[in-house]
Amino acid sequence: MEPELLAWFAEHGRDLPWRRTRDPYAVLVSEVMLQQTQVARVVPRYLGWLQRWPTVESLAASSTAEVIRVWQGLGYNRRALNLHRAARRIAAEGWPDDLTGLPGVGRYTADAVGRFALELPVLPVDTNVRRVLERSGGEFGPESAHALMDLGATVCLARVPRCNACPLAAGCPSRGRRYDPARRQSRFEGSFRQRRARTLRLVAERPRRLSRLDGEAVEALRSDALVEIRGTSVRLTES
């Protein structure tokens, strides 16, 4: 199956900016941004981020407040804090042998940086890759990582796979199957997540009086170290 997959990828693989670099910092930025965020939204934000902070040292030297401001719109803002903390640790101590020791870096992200930046012989397994592996029953090496990701993202879809366009279809035991929809995430509109996002956006513009903000949202943001309360004022964390 692997030769067919790699031949398909050579023709249909996505041209994404983070695939044109072997800089572990740039790859880490892309992987953190891609957590729970669609590729199309990430591309311009990734490019803008690296233009502003082209090195791990430049990000480490920035304030937490500025990092949060620049992250606005990507959601799940704790990712920004973790990326900033990771940058500060790397700038101070160098890249660790085990990347899972960095804030916000789990097994998949560590393997992705290891494979795509450091060329380690590991296969990063995200949701798309796992889907292809489970459905096809095939065995694939680390060199197939990007191809598996693209196949899962564009052909071997979660509910209705495009088997007629799949290079693995001839030998796939799951060919022609359809799947029940996964449990959907709760709606953002009217949710507490929306209240948090709105409150953070207001505070990112300028410090605000606590009495004029959503108190529950402020407390949740403070617990996540995204904002701090000084007297009667709420502002972004400055450290």
- Beta-carbon contacts of 169 under 8 Å, excluding residues fewer than 6 positions away, are 163, 175
pLDDT in tens, 53-78: 999 999 999 999 999 999 999 999 99
User: What is residue 230's three-state secondary structure?
Assistant: strand
pLDDT of residue 188: 76
Q: How confident is the model at residue 185 (pLDDT cuts 50, 70, 90)?
A: low
**Do residues 104 and 79 touch, judged by C-beta distance below 8 A?**
yes
CA atoms in the 13 A half-sphere facing the CB of 184? 5
pLDDT of residue 182: 72
Q: Position of tokens 């502003």?
A: 52
pLDDT of residue 152: 98
Strand order in the sheet with 233-236: 208-209, 233-236, 227-230
Structure tokens at 126: 């995200």
Span 75-101, mean pLDDT?
97
Q: Is residue 183 scored above 80 in pLDDT?
A: no
If phi over 0 gives left and psi between -120 and 50 gives alpha, with beta otherwise, what is residue 227? Answer: beta
Q: Is residue 238 scored above 90 in pLDDT?
A: no
User: What is residue 99's three-state secondary structure?
Assistant: helix
pTM: 0.91
Could you tell me the domains of the chain?
A: 1-13+121-182 (1.10.1670.10), 23-116 (1.10.340.30), 192-236 (no CATH)
Percent of the chain whose predicted confidence (pLDDT) is above 90: 93
pLDDT in tens, 119-137: 999 999 999 999 999 999 9
- Residues forming the active site: 31
pLDDT of residue 97: 94
